Every structure is written in C-alpha cells, then in structure tokens.
Structure 1
Amino acid sequence: MVLGILSLAATVPLLATSTVQLQNTAQETRDGNGSTISSTKTNKCHIKVVPSARMSTDVKSTVKDRRLILKDGLVKLSAQNDEKPPHHKVTAYFLPFPNTTYDGLVTTIDDMNMLNWVYISKDTYQVTYGTRAVAEQHLTGPMGLTLMADGDSRIIMEGWDGFMAVEDGDGEWSLYFDKDSDGLADKIDQSRSKRIAQIELHREMLE
C-alpha cells in the first residue's frame, strides 16, 4: 500500500488524507538542525513573511506580514495586508521526502486538499511547487524548523533561513532561497532596480 502511494505521489498531487502512509515511513527522521522531528511538524500552517531587521524601513514596511500564496505556478507573497488573497494560500506541513533521509515541505494546492511538494529551482533558486516527479529534479530539502524564544517557529532550508523576497514588478514579490549566500548575485538581474528583502518565514498554525 505504501509503495502504491509513493508511486502515485511521483506523478500526480497527493490527497492530504493519504499522507499518513508517508509519515509512517519515517522511523526517527531528523530535521535540518539534527533535532528529532516533533509532532508539530505535521500540523498544517499558513506562512507569514517577517523581514530581517537588517532591511531598510521602506522594504520592511512593504513586505511585512504578507502571506505566502500559490500563483502562476510559483510561490509568491500575497498583496499587502490581504488576509484572504484571491489565490490559494500556502497551507503547509512537513513530510519525509521519498527515497531520502530528510523532510520536505508539502502544501495544499486547492480546496480539495490535493498536495504538491514545495521545492527550490536548481537553476534560479526560485521557490515553486509541483508533483514529486518534478520536485525531485530540483532542491527539496532538508526542510526544517527553528524554534524561537516566544514559542513561534520559522522554516529553514539546508539548516538556515536564507529566504529572500524579490520584487517582480507591478507590486508583486516572488520567493527565493539564497542557497549560495551571495544575495542571489548570479540568479536575478539586479540592474533592473528590483528591490530584494531578506526575510524569515514564520508559521501560523491552523486549528
């Protein structure tokens, strides 16, 4: 039964109700920090954008408190102060990524609770989503959590929170992962006056 689920996951979106088989394949999986996964990682959450303290006041006020959404096949930031965006809000949790030793991140993609994997394009470092067959060609993890003193938690990739928001134009912002820790120097055209924000991705837990 588990093999059937894993085969299905490779080519089509998973039903959220079917992921218990995937969860059961992890016996004592560890996250990107090396700490044992807690049960909270399988709880659904929305994801809020929190700008780094190092950002200018202008940029911080522009991206602060936006939520991650799915739009045009990409993970993007919602319009500012838009609690109910017209596009599907990322509703995510962690699952063991098949045939690896680490966790990946999944999100619902519609109101039917179909799931896709969240991944980082190996070519552009842009954050997007798709079926396992697509995702496994790119960077899928390890995805994990950093717990904060106030009890909140933020999402990390490869052990750190190197996420960045890049202005696309028309006030839209896309999500990237700064894998090389160089400000996406070779990944985006910085001559086009795009604003870039260092951000954290904080979980907003759903009841």
Structure 2
Amino acid sequence: MVFGLITLSTMVPTIIGLNQATQNTRDSEEERRDSARRQRCNLIAICDEREGTLEQRRQVHNAKVYLGPDGNLYLTKTPVAGFSPFNGRFFQHPLFAPDNMAGFVTLTEEEPPMLRWVFVDADTHECRWGGRQDSEGHVCGPYNWTKDEQRITLQGWEGWLAVRRPDDEEREQEERGLGIAEGQGIWRLYFDEHDDGADLHPDSQVLEICLQRVPAES
C-alpha cells in the first residue's frame, strides 16, 4: 500500500506536466489559427476536370476573384477597367456569436481604401460586396475554411458557382475595347445556397468551383 502511494506521488508531477504541455500546444495552435484567419488573401477558382467544356474550364480554372464596380464579384484571368482583386480575410460579424470570425471582408481600392463586407444576395444568389447597409438582409455567413485551411466555405459547404448569364456575351463585346481579349471570359461568382441550381436562367453557363485562398499580393 505504501509502495502504491509512493508510485502515485511520483507520477502526479509527470501527469501535471503532460497536461500543461498539452494545453500549451492547444493554445499555440489556436493562436496560429487565429493569426492565419486574420491574414489577407486573394481567392482563386479551382475547377474539376469533369466540369463544363475544355474552353469553359480554361477560362475558369485558376481565374482570380475580382471586385466589380457594380458591387458584384467576378472571376476572370483578364480583368477590365474598374476591377480590383479580392483582398480580404475572415472578420467578426455582429450577426454571429461574440468573438466569432464568421464574417468575410475585402479591402477595396476606394479612396481611401475601405473594408467592405462580402455577402450573397438573398434574392439572386450572386456574390457581392458593400457596406453594412448593402449587406443587411442578405447572407453574410458563417464563412469558414476547409480542414486543410485552403478553401472557403459558406454555411458549412462549398456551394460556389462560376456563372455566365445569357446577357454576358453582349456585355463582353463592349468590354473588349477596355482590354479583354477574345475568348477570355468574365464569369460571375454565385453561391448555390439551397443546392438547387441557384434559380439561374436555363441558358446560363454554370460550373461548380472551389475558392482557394492564396496569400494576398499586396
């Protein structure tokens, strides 16, 4: 019995030390994750090789997300005048629990530069950016990342779509004079919130995509 008490007494400091080490590791990992979520990133579209046609995939795969001057988000490899790269990060949002990082913001090229909310239009399902009043009543989160911390999720999944509406071809004809080359399409970014096709026009071109985080260039 005495031997058992002596053995136990020698083990207690070791157990306490292991618990402290485990807690310190958890704290360090949490700090790392919080720091990573605060780092600004650009967004790149990743398209599965089974999606769409070869030409569509060529336009969408590795295309960067841009802020359009109309408040919408676009995907393209050849931005036109008025487009600025998405440059954002996770951010606390008042709609969610205290100390959350479930919102998403982007730094704009306004003068002076501003942080603007990234949200999904509740009626059209198109991804947009704007001020607090612009985002009210729309889908503002919760945003998160995948387990590998590489891709963006919204409401727990990756329902992102690259979309070209029937009227986009005519719009691009006009924008080619502003720098877009023939065959280098501009796609709209949508989120299929209810996994039902996002109520898109039947003649729309649609590709399912992922949004990959890459360190912001500036």
Q: Which one of 49, 70, 73 corresponds to residue 71 of structure 2? A: 73
Pairs within 5 Å for 1:8-23? none
Q: Which one of 156, 160, 165 corresponds to residue 163 of structure 1? A: 160
TM-score (norm 1): 0.71
Structure 1 CA distance for aligned equivalents of residues 93 and 132 of structure 2: 9
Q: Please list every run of at least 4 consecutive aligned residues from structure 1 whose deviation after the TM superposition is greater than 3 angstroms.
A: none
Residue 188 of structure 1 corresponds to: 200
Pairs within 5 Å for 1:1-207? 38-58=34-54, 59-71=56-68, 72-78=70-76, 80=77, 82=78, 86=81, 87-101=83-97, 102=100, 103-110=102-109, 112-148=112-148, 153-168=150-165, 169-170=168-169, 171-184=185-198, 187-190=199-202, 193-206=203-216
Instruction: Give the deviation of 1:74 after TM superposition.
Output: 0.4
Instruction: Give the deviation of 1:52 after TM superposition.
Output: 2.8
C-alpha distance after superposition, 1:156-202 (max 9, x if no partner):
00011110010132332111101111222xx2211xx3210100000
Percentage of pairs with the same residue: 28
Count how many residue pairs are aligned between Structure 1 and Structure 2. Answer: 163
Structure 1 CA distance for aligned equivalents of residues 50 and 91 of structure 2: 32
Instruction: Give the deviation of 1:53 after TM superposition.
Output: 4.0
SS in 1 for 2:42: strand
- Higher strand content, 1 or 2: 1
Larger radius of gyration: 2
C-alpha distance after superposition, 1:120-141 (max 9, x if no partner):
0111111001111221311100
Change (3 A) 1:92 1:199: same
SS in 2 for 1:60: helix
Greater mean deviation of Cα atoms: 106-115 or 161-170: 106-115
Residue 8 of structure 1 corresponds to: none
Instruction: Give the deviation of 1:38 after TM superposition.
Output: 2.9
Instruction: Give the deviation of 1:113 after TM superposition.
Output: 2.8
